[in-house]
Structure 1
């Protein structure tokens, strides 16, 4: 369609020019002594147009010829730049593939002819991360130093990478310094807060860990499950710093109920109370956990049984009364039955102890249940039955050893 329009336009122009030339009958005199020439005015106009076109063509050829060296240089530079950016893409792909040596090599290629500061920064970051992954720490530090020469707007990525590398190397102070530099450039950067959270946990600063966890949770930068893990880790660190059972009790009142009911934390609290020789309160916490269907675990029942001989007689009787209710919902919990058997034995309630231990052993024969039955029969003067259970204990121990 365009071709038809162009042809039509050219023919129309030719007709207009032809008509104009018939209307114009003037002429022009060209005088160059001693010559004098008369030419048609139309021919003169045509000659001027042709002369202008020729002059333009000559000037264009001269301009192109003069610019050839610069054009060749530009072409070569574009070719090198294209190769550099291809190398940068290859470096990124190799890095995420885990091929760190290739990633570093391609990143260095990209830097040779790259002039854009952003691309140079990206290449240096890839090279530094790759060198760190291969253990070339000197080269890694050299790449990071080169990043210092780039514009300030690109320094945030450099400081964040530095913080990650320092954290991986367990250099908590160096990581914190890098995080502070990053936060000076971007105060509300949540990723910097996440890194600081890991550093504070590494430094065993539980109060800071709890504060940062809540801040990230409110900013929706941390999943609730992750937040709970960090809280539990912080609580575990706080727990190790207590030197008296009174401190543990006061601390427990400050912990949210949902966290306090975690079986792992309960087990750690019980271990700490045992170390502080507050056996009755440790048993109370275990009893609270075992009374809850969601909290109760075989491990907690085992710990209660191991505490039996250290408890006061009043606490043993209290636990045995409570345990009758637990057995209504978990009648085949062999670890709970074993714990109750140990409580009864230490209370010298031989009949109850025997019934609990035999019930546990019938559900799941264990080394502990048979050993406790052997001790019970020994204490009640039934040597033959005691020998049978000692023999069974030995068989179970040998089988477990295999």
Structure 2
């Protein structure tokens, strides 16, 4: 339809020009001595228009010819830029695919012909991460140093990548410095806080670990289970630094109740108290946990049995009475039965000790129970039974070792 309108319009224009030319009957005299020439005024107008068009075309050709080298250079530059950005995309894909050498190679291709400083920074980040992944530390540091001259907007990414690289290389102090530089740019960046949490844990700074854990938990950057693991790790680091029973007791008072009831933490605390030879405090702590069915674990019952030889008679009898009550709700806890057997043997209650140890074996045969019965029967002079349990203990030990 547009083509039809164009044709109609051109014919209409031709008709108008024809009509106008019949109206204009004038002529023009061109005088160039000694010549004189008369031409139609309409022809002169057409000639002038054609001359102008020819002059314009000639000037355009001259301009195009003059600009041709620049056009060629621009075309080549655009071609190189297209190849550069293609290489940058290939580098990113190769890095995510785990082909780090190819990623570094493609990233370097994209830097020289790239005019965007952001893209250059991205290429250097990819190259640095790839070099670090293949263990080329010299190249890694070189790429990171080149990033220092990049624009301010790329510095946060640079510090975060450097922090992760240093952390992976087990360089916690350098990683922490990079994280602190990142947080100076964006103080509440959760990914930076998560990195700092790992670094502080590696540096054994439990107070900072606990603070960061709470901060990330409030920001929904950690789930409850992750927070529990970080807290437990921090408490263990604090626990390892105590040199006396009093310090441990004061520390336990400062811990939130929900954390103090963690069976793993109770077990670690009891082991630390045992290492400090605070056997009574360890027994008291374990007994408190075993009295709660939700806290009680076989590991805690085993620790209680190991304390039997190190606590006084009055405490052993109290623990036996309490443990018998615990058995009412956990009658098939073989470790609790084993602990009762050890407590009874330490009190020289041979009959009770034999009964508890055999009950433990009936639930689950263990090396410890057979070894305890071997010692029990050897003590009371029943050598044949002692030998039987010694052989059974040896058989279980061989099975576990093979």
Whole-angstrom distance in 1 between the partners of 2:288 and 2:15: 108
Residues 176 and 36 (structure 1), Cα distance of their counterparts in 2 relative to 1, 3 Å cut: same
Contact 2:108-2:127 at 8 Å conserved across structures: yes
Q: What's 1:268 paired with?
A: 268
Q: Kindly state the Cα deviation for residue 219 of structure 1 after the two structures are TM-superposed.
A: 2.4
Q: Which residue of 2 aligns with 1:142?
A: 142
Q: CA deviation at 1:274?
A: 0.5
**2:226 is aligned with 1:221:** no
Partner of 1:81: 81
Aligned residue in 2 for 1:323: 323
CA offset at residue 228 of structure 1? 1.8
Cα separation, partners in 2 of 1:20 and 1:310, compared to 1, 3 Å: same
Residue 28 of structure 1 and its aligned partner are, at CA, apart by: 3.6
Q: What is the distance in 2 between the residues matched to 1:103 and 1:251? A: 50
Partner residue, 1:182: 182
C-alpha displacement of 1:63? 1.1
Describe the shift of the 1:176–1:388 C-alpha distance in structure 2 as closer, same or farther (beyond 3 A): closer
Deviations along 1:244-302, one digit per CA (max 9) or x if unpaired, are 11211111121122222222212111110101122222122222333333333222221
Task: Tell me by how many angstroms 1:94 deviates.
Answer: 1.4
Residue by residue, what CA displacement relative to the aligned partner does 1:309-358 show, whole Å, maximum 9, x if unpaired? Answer: 21222322222222233323322221121111111221222222222111
CA shift for structure 1 position 127? 1.3
2:293 counterpart residue number: 293
Q: How far did 1:13 drift?
A: 2.5
How far the C-alpha of 1:234 sits from its partner, in A, is: 0.9
Paired position in structure 1 for 2:11: 11
Rounded Cα–Cα distance in structure 2 between residues aligned with 1:19 and 1:42: 12
- Give CA deviations for 1:91-121 in whole Å, capped at 9, x if unaligned: 1111112211111111111122222111111
Question: Given the superposition, is the C-alpha separation of residues 315 and 24 from structure 1 closer, same or farther in structure 2, using an over 3 Å criterion?
Answer: farther
Other-structure match for 1:281: 281
Deviation of residue 369 (structure 1)? 1.0
Equivalent residue number for residue 395 of structure 2 = 395
Counterpart of 2:400 in 1: which secondary structure? helix
Which residue number corresponds to residue 156 of structure 2? Answer: 156
Structure 2 unaligned segments of length 5 or more: list them: none
Counterpart of 2:201? 201
Per-residue Cα deviation, 1:176-208 (whole angstroms, up to 9, x for no partner):
322232233333333222222222222211111
Deviates more, 1:72-81 or 1:21-30: 21-30
1: CA distance between counterparts of 2:222 and 2:209?
13
Q: Provide the C-alpha distance between the structure 2 equivalents of 1:390 and 1:57, rounded to a whole number of angstroms.
A: 112
Query: Cα distance, 1:213 vs. partner?
Result: 1.6
| Residues 1:87 and 1:257: Cα distance change in structure 2 (over 3 Å) | same
TM-score of the superposed pair, with normalisation by structure 1: 0.93
What is the CA–CA distance in structure 2 between the aligned matches of 1:172 and 1:226, rounded to whole Å?
21
2:115 corresponds to? 115
TM-score normalised according to structure 2 size: 0.93
Q: Return 91-100 or 321-330, whichever deviates more.
A: 321-330
Distance 1:41 1:325 in 2: 129
1:59 aligns with 2:39: no
Instruction: Assess, with a 3 A threshold, how the Cα gap between structure 1 residues 9 and 362 changes in structure 2: closer, same or farther.
Output: same
Stretch deviating more after TM superposition (318-327 or 63-72): 318-327
Q: Using the alignment, how far apart are the partners of 2:11 and 2:325 within structure 1?
A: 109
Secondary structure of 2:307's counterpart equals: helix
Q: Say which is worse superposed, 236-245 or 260-269, in terms of deviation.
A: 260-269
- Deviates further, 347-356 or 61-70: 347-356
Closer/same/farther in 2, CA of residues 401 and 171 from structure 1, 3 Å limit = closer
Q: Structure 1 residues 377, 168: closer, same or farther in 2, change over 3 A? A: same
Quote how far apart the aligned CAs of 1:157 are. Answer: 2.1
Q: Which residue of 2 aligns with 1:50?
A: 50
1:172 CA drift (Å): 2.8
Long gaps (5+) in structure 1: none
Q: Which residue of 2 aligns with 1:210?
A: 210
Helix, strand or coil: the match of 1:44? helix
1:239 to partner: Cα distance: 0.5
Query: Aligned equivalents of 1:46 and 1:60: distance in 2?
Result: 21
Q: Determine the C-alpha separation between the residues in 2 that align with 1:379 and 1:397.
A: 22
